[in-house]
């Protein structure tokens, strides 16, 4: 009988690298799950033939994790497409515009903060003017002629990325937002609930003025599905890396049921699955749903369940370690520039779907 891999603990030294920490000192429990996630990402997911989708939920970018962890992965070609809450993209703009956010304590007097117009995100503080000025920037962008149309969120975010890039370069602070990095690398960013953020609120407000910018949510569903469909159809593999849960998690996973169940096209499910979450499965929420449960929906290929990892850890702990480990151990990849291929991928999905209907 095999007991598994022998645990062989050694003393930690002061010159320990992140790679050594992960490989040699995360022994068991969720430490071991974090090790498995890092190794799975670096050894299998970061290979050139794998298309990597990343989801972001929770207030991650106010912490600085966008420019610190996500942007380096994008620039290294290790993230090919993203599903994010609109809030993460909006709050990532603040530093692009030169505003400051401050680390503090969650044990503050919130009434006093309110009186001084200070906004709190747990232990992060910033002045209300940061929101008002960021809103003004967004509205200025959305009034431009290029936004006067109905478009998917990937297109809207790509166009916004050109403006954040210009503002970051003009300020010269060195800060790079997710929007800017994705714009430069051709990484499409989708928002599963575009009205559920300050970005969507500003689109709605401008509509009252007669602005013609609108969200095409149906295109988003089909575009994201087309990315996965093309990946698998061309002999590649699909990976999902889920930071948190919520709507972005379901959105990236529903691409497979859309292919199999709704469109009736032959497919098996995503090949690799990593999730960092603090949600339990027994409460019935999707954020805590396991890869095995997702497999029953067709979201995960049943033959690939060994290549799935759920680590019950805060994303603010796991993402920096994952990023540092991947950048230290995996080679950079050429950018797939899926944004540039959206029309082509969508046309192929449409052609195959209509051909199936005509043949049925």
* Distance in angstroms (rounded) separating the CA atoms of residues 266 and 269: 10
Nearest to 196 by CA among 242, 248, 273: 248
Nearest to 327 by CA among 2, 75, 62: 75
Do 82 and 53 meet the contact criterion of CB atoms below 8 Å apart? yes
Whether 336 is a known active-site residue: answer no
* Distance in angstroms (rounded) separating the CA atoms of residues 133 and 117: 14
Catalytic residue, chosen from 159, 232, 249, 299, is 299
Nearest to 167 by CA among 200, 208, 138, 207: 138
Please write down the HEC assignment for all residues of 113-127.
Answer: HHHCCEEEECCEEEE
- 85: Cβ contacts below 8 Å, ≥ 6 apart: 56, 57, 58, 191, 192, 193, 196, 197, 246, 247, 248
Is residue 320 packed enough to be buried (19+ CB in 10 Å), middle (13-18) or exposed (0-12)?
middle
* Distance in angstroms (rounded) separating the CA atoms of residues 76 and 7: 33
Question: Which residue has 């920037």 as its token pair?
Answer: 137
Give catalytic residues, as residue numbers.
Answer: 299
């Amino acid at each position: 009988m095999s007991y598994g891999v022998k645990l062989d603990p050694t003393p930690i030294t002061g010159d320990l690298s992140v790679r050594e920490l992960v490989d040699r000192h995360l022994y068991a429990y969720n430490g071991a799950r974090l090790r498995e996630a890092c190794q799975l990402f670096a050894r299998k997911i970061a290979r050139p033939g794998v298309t990597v989708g990343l989801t972001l939920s929770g207030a991650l970018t106010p912490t600085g994790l966008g420019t610190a962890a996500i942007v380096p992965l994008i620039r290294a070609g290790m993230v090919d497409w993203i599903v994010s809450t609109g809030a993460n993209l909006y709050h990532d703009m603040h530093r692009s515009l030169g505003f400051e956010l401050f680390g503090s304590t969650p044990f503050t007097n919130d009434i006093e903060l309110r009186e001084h117009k200070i906004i709190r995100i747990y232990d992060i503080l910033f002045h209300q003017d940061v929101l008002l000025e960021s809103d003004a920037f967004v509205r200025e962008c959305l009034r431009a002629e290029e936004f006067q149309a109905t478009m998917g969120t990937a297109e809207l975010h790509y166009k916004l990325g050109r403006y954040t890039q210009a503002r970051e370069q003009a300020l010269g602070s060195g800060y790079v937002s997710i929007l800017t990095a994705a714009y430069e690398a051709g990484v499409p960013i989708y928002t599963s609930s575009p009205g559920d953020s300050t970005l969507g609120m500003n689109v709605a407000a401008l509509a009252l003025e007669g602005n013609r910018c609108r969200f095409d949510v149906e295109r988003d569903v089909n575009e994201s599905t087309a990315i996965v469909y093309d990946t698998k159809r061309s002999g590649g593999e699909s990976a999902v890396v889920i930071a948190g849960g919520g709507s972005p998690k379901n959105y990236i996973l529903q691409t497979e049921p859309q292919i199999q169940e709704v469109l009736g096209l032959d497919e098996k499910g995503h090949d690799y699955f990593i999730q960092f979450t603090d949600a339990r499965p027994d409460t019935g929420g999707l954020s805590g749903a396991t890869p095995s449960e997702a497999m029953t929906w067709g979201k995960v290929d049943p033959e690939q369940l060994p290549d799935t990892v759920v680590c019950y850890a805060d994303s603010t702990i796991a993402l920096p370690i994952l990023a540092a480990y991947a950048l230290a151990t995996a080679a950079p990849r050429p950018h797939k520039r899926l944004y540039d291929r959206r029309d082509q991928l969508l046309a192929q999905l449409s052609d195959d779907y209509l051909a199936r209907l005509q043949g049925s």
